[in-house]
Amino acid sequence: MNQLVRSIPLRRFACAALLLYAGLAQAQYVWIDAKGVRQYSDRPPPPGTPRAQILKAPKGLAQEPDAPPAAQAQIDKKKGPPTLAEREQDFRKRQQARAEEDTKAAEETQRKQAQAENCEAARRYKAALESGERMSTTTASGERGFLTDAERTLRLAKTIRVLADCR
């Protein structure tokens, strides 16, 4: 009997709590849709439903959101979340774009490195031409010949034009 006396207040408390939470279960929306049919739901009516057509909404809750979130708007446009195939296709596009960017970056790095090497070689050649020491070349017949002053001046002018692009 002693246990029965102790459990009565506990039972009353449990009943009171259930009654309080039962009110939340009655949070129902009632509205008239575009076809003129009365709709009952525990979720708010779709965005764009005029307030005049919402017959009942729970107190304290927003009756109609001002605007759907951006992510929700995208999902609504697509008629649902993207499928696995669409997600896979998007992933492959991103992967391909990343690979193309990496390839372009590698080619650009290689081009800059080659240009730097060519510029350094042109600087050394210019220094050799300006030093006045004798420079030999191979003629069309395969024999060894030396640069004349006119040839040296011409080659120096070409080298200076090449070095102008290096800066």
Tens digits of residue pLDDT in 96-136: 999 999 999 999 999 999 999 999 999 999 999 999 888 98
48 lies in a domain?
A: no
111 lies in a domain?
A: yes
51 lies in a domain?
A: no
Number of domains making up the chain: 1
Sorting pLDDT into bands at 50, 70 and 90, what band is 62?
A: low
Mean per-residue pLDDT over the chain, rounded: 84
What are the angstrom distances between the C-alpha of 105 and each of 15, 33, 35, 96, 118?
A: 70, 56, 58, 14, 20
**By residue range, what is the domain housing residue 147?**
84-165
Angle between helices 84-131 and 149-164 (to 10 degrees): 150
101 lies in a domain?
A: yes
For tokens 């510029």, name the residue.
Answer: 119
Q: By mean pLDDT, which of 62-66, 126-130, 158-162 is the weakest?
A: 62-66
